C-alpha cells in the first residue's frame, strides 16, 4: 500500500506510534559478501521519466567481505564499500542493476591473503602485528596511501558517500581517508545494451594542482596528512567542490577547494575551537554563495580510549557547540586565499550529522540541519560531563532545527546565535535531508527528509526510515509525504527536471526494502507532489548510506 499524505496524516501516524514497542530487523543489514554482475530488472509500477533515461542511480554502503578479526567488537560501519546501481532506460524490462565492491588498498591486501582480515574495525586493538601491518601498508603505497598517518589499524572502506565533481569525476568517499575514483565501463557485447555495464575502481583519487605544490612530491593535498570527508559540497554556480579534512591526532582541520576542472586551488588549515583544542568529528558542513559554514560539535576524539581498545570518540555533554564562518573568496578570486580565517560562533551543546540547507542574507546566515540533543555516534562514542563518565539513555533520533547566525561585524570579535529553534509543530524525528541541488547555498522553500521510525529499528542502535517528507520551510509544515506499508528506505537524491523551472520540479530517487521479504526496490517520486512515478523490483540490497545520480552525459563520457 503506497500513499501520499498531508501533514494531518503524518501527525496522526506519529501519535499512533508513540505507545508502540520497537521491533528490530537485523536481517536488513546482513551483507551480501559477493558482487553482482549487471542483470536486467523490471519495472513493476509506472515508468521511468524520460529525462532520467541513460542515467545511473547509485548508493554506497557497508558490506563486510570477510569475517572480522574481532566479532565481538564488530560494527556495521566496518563493512567494505559496496555500490549498488540502477542504469535507467525506456521500457519496462530495459533497466539494469548490479553491485560492486570499491577495491581499496585494504580490500586488495586482504584478497591477496586469501580472504584473511588484516584490519580492525571501529574498535581498535593494541596488537603489535596489526600496527606494523598498517604502517607497512602506508610505506608500500607511497606516495598515495588511502588514509592519513593517524589511521593505522582500520582500512579505508570507501563505504560512506558518492560524489560527482564539477568535471564529472565519480568518487566514493570515506570519512577517515581519501576518496576512490570509480567509473563505469562496458563489460562486453558492445552496442547499447545497458545490461553490459560494470563499475570499476580506478584507484585513490589525487586532485591535480593548478599552482606549484606545497610539497614537491606529496603536494598540497597530502595523502599522509589529509582525508576527504563524506559530505563534500558542489557549488551549482561555480561547479567548485568544497571539502573538509581533519587530523584527529594533530588537532587541526583543513578546508579544500577543487575548481570546475578538478584542480586543487586551495587547502587551508585551521585549529578546532574547543577549550583544550580537542579534535572533533566534522561529518558535514554547509555552504552559501559566499561562505563555508562549519559545524564543530563536541563529539571529541579520545586517543587514550581508542588506543586502549575502546571506541574512538567521547561525547562531551558539558561542552558547547560551535559554528564557523569562513569567507569563500577572501584573498582572491579562486579558492579561500592564504589569509582565510574562521569566525567561530558559540552555540548550545548538540550534534548534527547532516545539514539540509543554508544561505546568507546580508550579515546573517540561515542554517537548517538535523539536531540531536546528544549522540553516541551509533556506538562509536562514550559520554562525559564535566570530566566525569556518564551513561545517558540515548536515542539517535534527530529533528530538523533552524539556526540564524549573526556574523561578526566591523569591530566585533565574533558573531552570535540570534535564533535557535525546532522547525515545525509536528515534532517529527527525521534525518537524511535533501534539496534541489541547483539551490545549494541559496534560499530554498522546500526541504526533503526521511522520517525515523519510532517502532522499528535495524538493531545495534541503527534507525530505520519509513516515510519521505516534503517540508515547506516558509510556513514550517509537512506539505506532502509518501510511505509504502512494510517498507523502509535509504538516502534519497533529488534530480532536477530540465523541463520544469520550479524549485520542486524534479524527482526523488531512493532504494526501499521490504521488512518481511528478501526484496528491495528503486522508487522514483515526483518531488512536487511525492506521488509515485515508478517502482523497479530488485533483489535484496542491504541497508546503506548515501546516494547520488550520474546524468547520462557523464555516463557517456565514461563508456563512450
Q: What is the DSSP letter of 120?
A: B
Q: Tell me whether residue 17 is exposed, middle or buried, using C-beta atoms within 10 angstroms of its C-beta: 0 to 12, 13 to 18, 19 or more.
A: middle
Helix H or strand E segment including 132:
helix 128-140
Longest dimension (CA), the chain: 68
Q: Is 133 annotated as a binding residue?
A: no
Phi and psi at residue 474, to the nearest 5°: -75, -50
Dist CA 361 CA 541 (whole Å): 43
Beta strands in 161-240 (DSSP E): 161-164, 170-173, 180-186, 197-204, 208-209, 233-234
CA dihedral 92, 93, 95, 99 (to 10 degrees): 140
Dist CA 170 CA 467 (whole Å): 29
Q: Helix 105-112 crosses helix 128-140 at what angle (to 10 degrees)?
A: 110
Dist CA 321 CA 371 (whole Å): 12
Residue with cell 563520457: 557
Rg (CA), the chain: 22
- 423-469 pLDDT, tens per residue? 998 899 999 999 999 999 999 999 999 999 988 898 877 899 999 99
Which pTM does this prediction carry?
Answer: 0.93
Compute CA distances 186 → 3, 167, 195, 363, 387, whole Å.
38, 21, 9, 51, 57
Q: How many CA atoms lie within 13 A of 77 on its CB side?
A: 21
Contact 511, 455 (CB under 8 A): no
Cell numbers for 75: 560494527
Q: Is the peptide bond before 143 cis (omega within 30 degrees of 0)?
A: yes
The per-residue pLDDT for 214 is 66
How confident is the prediction along the chain (560 residues), in pLDDT tens digits per residue? 454 544 333 332 222 334 356 788 899 999 999 999 999 999 999 999 999 999 999 999 999 999 888 888 888 999 999 999 999 998 767 799 999 999 999 999 999 999 988 998 887 776 778 888 999 999 999 999 999 998 988 999 999 999 999 999 999 999 999 999 999 999 865 445 545 899 999 999 999 887 656 666 667 899 999 999 999 999 999 999 999 999 999 999 999 999 999 999 999 999 999 999 999 999 999 999 999 999 999 999 999 998 888 889 999 999 999 999 999 975 444 555 455 689 999 999 999 999 999 999 999 999 999 999 999 999 899 999 999 998 888 888 999 999 999 997 655 667 999 999 999 988 999 999 999 999 999 999 999 999 999 888 988 778 999 999 999 999 999 999 999 999 999 999 999 999 999 999 999 999 999 998 889 999 999 999 999 999 999 999 999 999 999 999 999 999 97
- Domain segments of the chain as ranges: 1-23+429-533, 53-186+196-208, 231-423
Q: Where are the alpha helices (DSSP H) in 293-427?
A: 303-307
Q: Tell me whether residue 105 is exposed, middle or buried, using C-beta atoms within 10 angstroms of its C-beta: 0 to 12, 13 to 18, 19 or more.
A: buried
Cell numbers for 198: 560494470
Residue with cell 588549515: 269
Q: Is 283 annotated as a binding residue?
A: yes
Q: Is 366 annotated as a binding residue?
A: no
Angle at 400 between CA 397 and CA 406, to 5 degrees: 130
Helix H or strand E segment including 13:
helix 7-18
Tell me the residue length of the chain. Answer: 560
* Helix and strand totals (H; E) in the chain: 5, 38
Residue with cell 577543487: 258
Q: Tell me whether residue 381 is exposed, middle or buried, using C-beta atoms within 10 angstroms of its C-beta: 0 to 12, 13 to 18, 19 or more.
A: buried
Q: Is 66 annotated as a binding residue?
A: no
Dist CA 431 CA 375 (whole Å): 14
Question: Is the C-alpha dihedral spanning 218, 223, 227, 231 positive or negative?
Answer: positive
Amino acid at each position: 500500500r503506497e500513499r501520499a499524505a498531508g501533514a494531518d496524516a503524518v501527525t496522526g501516524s506519529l501519535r499512533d506510534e508513540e505507545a508502540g514497542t520497537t521491533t528490530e530487523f537485523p536481517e536488513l543489514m546482513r551483507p551480501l559478501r559477493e558482487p553482482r554482475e549487471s542483470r536486467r530488472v523490471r519495472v513493476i509500477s509506472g515508468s521511468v521519466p524520460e529525462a532520467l533515461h541513460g542515467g545511473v542511480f547509485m548508493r554506497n554502503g557497508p558490506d563486510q567481505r570477510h569475517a572480522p578479526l574481532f566479532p565481538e567488537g564488530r560494527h556495521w560501519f566496518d563493512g567494505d564499500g559496496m555500490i549498488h546501481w540502477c542504469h535507467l532506460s525506456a521500457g519496462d524490462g530495459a533497466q539494469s542493476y548490479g553491485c560492486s565492491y570499491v577495491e581499496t588498498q585494504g580490500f586488495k591486501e586482504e584478497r591477496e591473503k586469501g580472504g584473511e582480515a588484516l584490519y580492525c574495525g571501529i574498535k581498535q586493538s593494541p596488537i603489535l602485528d596489526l600496527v606494523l601491518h598498517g604502517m607497512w601498508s602506508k610505506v608500500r603505497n607511497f606516495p598515495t596511501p588511502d588514509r592519513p598517518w593517524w589511521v593505522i589499524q582500520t582500512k579505508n572502506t570507501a563505504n560512506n558517500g558518492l560524489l560527482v565533481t564539477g568535471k564529472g569525476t565519480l568518487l566514493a568517499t570515506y570519512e577517515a581517508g581519501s576518496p576512490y575514483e570509480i567509473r563505469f565501463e562496458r563489460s562486453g557485447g558492445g552496442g547499447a545494451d545497458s545490461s553490459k555495464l560494470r563499475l570499476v575502481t580506478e584507484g585513490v583519487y589525487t586532485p591535480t594542482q593548478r599552482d606549484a605544490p606545497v610539497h614537491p612530491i606529496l603536494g598540497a593535498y597530502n595523502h599522509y596528512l589529509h582525508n576527504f570527508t563524506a559530505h563534500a559540497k558542489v557549488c551549482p554556480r561555480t561547479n567548485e567542490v568544497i571539502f573538509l579534512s581533519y587530523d584527529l591526532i594533530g588537532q587541526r582541520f583543513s578546508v579544500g577547494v577543487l575548481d570546475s576542472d578538478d584542480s586543487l586551488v586551495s587547502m587551508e588549515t585551521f585549529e578546532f575551537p574547543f577549550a583544550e583544542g580537542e579534535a572533533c568529528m566534522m561529518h558535514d558542513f554547509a555552504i552559501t554563495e559566499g561562505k563555508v559554514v562549519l559545524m564543530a560539535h563536541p563529539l571529541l576524539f579520545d586517543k587514550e580510549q581508542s588506543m586502549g581498545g575502546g571506541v574512538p570518540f567521547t561525547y562531551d555533554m558539558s561542552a558547547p557547540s560551535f559554528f564557523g564562518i569562513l569567507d569563500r573568496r577572501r584573498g582572491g578570486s579562486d579558492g579561500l586565499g592564504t589569509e582565510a580565517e574562521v569566525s567561530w560562533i558559540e552555540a548550545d551543546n548538540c550534534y548534527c550529522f547532516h545539514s539540509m540547507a543554508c544561505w546568507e542574507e546580508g550579515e546573517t546566515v540561515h542554517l537548517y540541519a538535523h539536531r540531536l540533543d546528544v549522540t553516541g555516534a551509533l556506538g562509536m562514542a562514550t559520554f562525559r560531563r564535566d570530566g566525569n563518565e556518564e551513561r545517558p539513555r540515548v536515542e539517535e533520533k534527530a529533528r530538523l532545527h533552524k539556526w540564524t547566525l549573526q556574523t561578526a561585524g566591523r569591530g566585533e570579535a565574533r558573531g552570535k546565535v540570534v535564533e535557535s529553534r525546532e522547525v515545525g509543530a509536528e515534532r517529527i524525528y527525521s534525518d537524511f535531508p535533501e534539496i534541489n541541488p541547483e539551490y545549494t547555498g541559496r534560499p530554498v522553500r522546500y526541504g526533503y527528509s526521511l522520517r525515523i521510525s519510532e517502532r522499528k529499528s535495524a538493531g545495534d542502535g541503527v534507525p530505520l526510515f519509513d516515510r519521505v517528507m516534503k517540508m515547506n520551510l516558509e510556513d514550517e509544515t509537512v506539505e506532502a509525504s509518501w510511505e509504502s506499508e512494510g517498507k523502509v528506505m535509504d538516502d534519497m537524491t533529488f534530480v532536477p527536471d530540465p523541463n520544469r523551472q520550479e524549485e520542486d520540479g524534479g524527482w526523488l530517487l531512493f532504494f526501499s526494502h521490504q521488512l518481511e521479504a528478501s526484496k528491495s526496490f528503486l522508487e522514483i517520486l515526483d518531488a512536487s507532489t511525492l506521488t509515485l512515478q515508478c517502482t523497479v523490483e530488485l533483489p535484496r540490497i542491504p541497508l546503506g548510506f548515501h546516494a547520488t545520480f550520474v546524468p547520462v552525459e557523464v555516463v557517456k563520457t565514461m563508456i563512450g
